[in-house]
Amino acid sequence: MKYRIWILIFGLFSIFSGYAQYIVPGEEWLDTDGNPINAHGGGILYHEGVYYWYGEYKGGCTYRSPGVDWDCYRTDVLGVSCYSSKDLYHWKFEGLVLESDTLDPQSDIHPTRVIERPKVIYNDKTGKFVMWMHIDNYNYRVASAGVAVSDSPVGKFTYLGSMRPNGQNSRDMTLFKDDDGKAYHIYSSEENSTLCVSLLSDDYLSHSGVYTKNFQNRFREAPAVFKRENKYYLVTSGCSGWDPNEAEYAVADSLLGVWTAVENPCRGKDADKTFYGQSTFVLPVAGEKDCYIMMLDKWCKTDLKESKYIWLPIAFNGDGLTIFWKDRWLLGNMTSALLGEK
């Protein structure tokens, strides 16, 4: 009896202290200071034993942009936040590594503008951390890509400016650095009808001019890319603003394509809505074979800063991949997490 009481006390202590270390998809996730993690549309850089999670730091009110006839909500983005972790459960707030420019209303990064989906990669040749992000205005007509650079993963990043890569507009985006050091910018283009994969210059600060157009007229966004056993995978969403829709994954032998669309990787209840999430990044867990985490945003479009995060393990079956909903799961136990049961 006494023994059971001690187990109960330990269980309750674990749950309330965070010691249990579960990933709990879709629920509030607190940083090590006890504040909700504010890093939306984010991505993770693994550098020298530490994970750095960068994302949109949303603040203020969310409002529907005037004169726009679709769900064009926006909120003040105060900059790009960074959180660091060694275990992927506990995240320390490192501050705003790229801060909004509150002084110049014309600046790309003024709080009234839109900064979305920031991603950071490290350039081994220059020793610089390079951030790319979607830059826009209230009605999403600027559709450009911005770039910033830093000597440290925790900033501060210096904003260098924005451009329309390869002469076309650029909205949802991600970055991918391959094993050979080449890096790519993957972005929704041509009014979101096409997904471009563009090789960056050696310093990662501009586009090389080498690029491909993929999934033409298929309107895919929210790209998340990863590599496994010499195959490249790309998870995307459809285009429905902040509302969830069905995900799709594609496979290729080269990042520049040809990409073959496969199917929705999600299974079970709400799979057709990506479990009410939208892809943002796939994180390979360092040193673990076949451990990849699908990172999704669960947008709250009427109060965007309240949006949550859904992290789920990816299961592989040959070249195919599947994602099951989990109420909670343990990183160290991904094999059982992959079995499909709750």
Binding site for ligand DGJ (CB under 6 A): 41, 71-72, 116-117, 172, 221-222, 241-242, 278
CB of 122 or CB of 309, closer to ligand DGJ: 309
The owner of tokens 């949006």 is 307
Rounded least distance, CB 146 to ligand DGJ, Å: 14
Positive or negative torsion for Cα 36, 38, 43, 49: negative
Rounded least distance, CB 134 to ligand DGJ, Å: 7
The DSSP-derived string for 146-196 is EEEEESSTT-PPEEEEEE-GGGS---SEEEEE-TTS-EEEEEEETTTTEEE
H helix or E strand, kind and range, residue 11? helix 2-17
In one letter, which amino acid is 85?
Answer: S
Residue 69 Rama label (left phi>0; alpha psi -120 to 50; beta)? alpha
The residue number whose beta carbon is nearest to ligand DGJ equals: 241
CB of 39 or CB of 334, closer to ligand DGJ: 39
CB of 74 or CB of 207, closer to ligand DGJ: 74
Q: Tell me the HSE value of 140 on the side-chain side, using a 13 A CA sphere.
A: 20
Rounded least distance, CB 265 to ligand DGJ, Å: 18
Rounded least distance, CB 203 to ligand DGJ, Å: 27
Residue 87 DSSP label? S
Rounded least distance, CB 140 to ligand DGJ, Å: 7
Nearest to residue 285, comparing CAs of 39, 88, 153, 118? 88
Rounded least distance, CB 318 to ligand DGJ, Å: 30
CB of 89 or CB of 242, closer to ligand DGJ: 242
Rounded least distance, CB 262 to ligand DGJ, Å: 21
Six token digits for residue 101: 């420019």
Return all residues near 261 (Cβ < 8 A) that are at least 6 apart: 215, 218, 248, 249, 250
CB of 123 or CB of 214, closer to ligand DGJ: 214
H helix or E strand, kind and range, residue 133? strand 128-136
CB of 302 or CB of 335, closer to ligand DGJ: 302
Rounded least distance, CB 324 to ligand DGJ, Å: 23
Return all residues near 207 (Cβ < 8 A) that are at least 6 apart: 163, 165, 166, 185, 198, 199, 200, 201
CB of 73 or CB of 329, closer to ligand DGJ: 73
CB of 45 or CB of 247, closer to ligand DGJ: 247
8 A C-beta contact, residue 119 and residue 132: yes
